[in-house]
Copies of this chain bind each other. A is one copy, B any other.
Amino acid sequence: MPNKAAPDASRRSETARRAILAAALDLVAEVGYAKLSIEGIAHAAGVGKQTIYRWWPSKGSLLFDAFLTLAGEGEATALPDTGDLAADMKMVLRATVDELNDPRFDQPMRALHTEIVHDPVLAADYVKRLDEPMRELKKQRLRAAQRVGQLIEDVDLDVAVDMLFGPVLNRWLQHTGPLTHDYVDHVVDTALRGLGPR
């Protein structure tokens, strides 16, 4: 049965891959990014170091894949659209804040964001595989809001996305203030109303 070998090997590969990604997430939460090593991940996953190096060029790229697995659990294919832009944005940003305040997400996401700051190749990968698809979902929601007159027509949607999501990510990365539901509600209301007098 010559067709049997390939699916089995492929299943074993997939099992190993998942074990490595899970080990990377567990370990980074436990020891932090600086002390995270390919050796440690290989040991925890029960595979050889070479298996990891065959699939990932760096611990940054491995962690990024691990993070995508984490972020992909129950991933939304679109942002909520209840017909109320402010309410929907608050819902999304409150969920983001809950995630950022969860230690299981906090460590790998900090590690990823740190690597992005310094590693242009990983940053390009991040933009292509995570930022752009997410940004497109956000823009879809904003376009829907434009169609029902809840968002001005002649706005740069990239600027709008940055204005809604940037302050929260920034506050989280720089520890410049507490990340609360109250804060994101203020951000959404202020972004929609604007800082200038009406």
Contact = CB atoms under 8 A, between A and B. Distances in A.
A131 B187 contact: no
Given A33-B118, A114-B118, A170 B177 contact: no
A195 B19 CA distance: 44
A111 to B, nearest CB: 8
Interface in A102-124: 110, 113-114, 116-118, 120, 123-124
Number of copies of this kind of chain in the complex: 2
A183 B159 contact: yes
A contacts with B: majority SS: helix
A92 interface: no
Contact of A186 (B33, B159, B174): B159
Given A117-B174, A163-B163, 18 more contacts: A34-B118, A114-B114, A114-B117, A116-B173, A116-B174, A127-B175, A127-B176, A135-B176, A159-B186, A160-B190, A162-B166, A163-B187, A166-B167, A170-B170, A192-B194, A192-B195, A192-B196, A193-B196
27 contacts: A110-B117, A113-B117, A116-B175, A117-B173, A117-B174, A124-B175, A127-B174, A131-B176, A151-B195, A151-B196, A152-B194, A155-B195, A156-B186, A156-B190, A158-B177, A159-B183, A162-B166, A162-B167, A162-B170, A162-B171, A163-B167, A163-B187, A166-B166, A167-B167, A169-B170, A191-B195, A192-B194
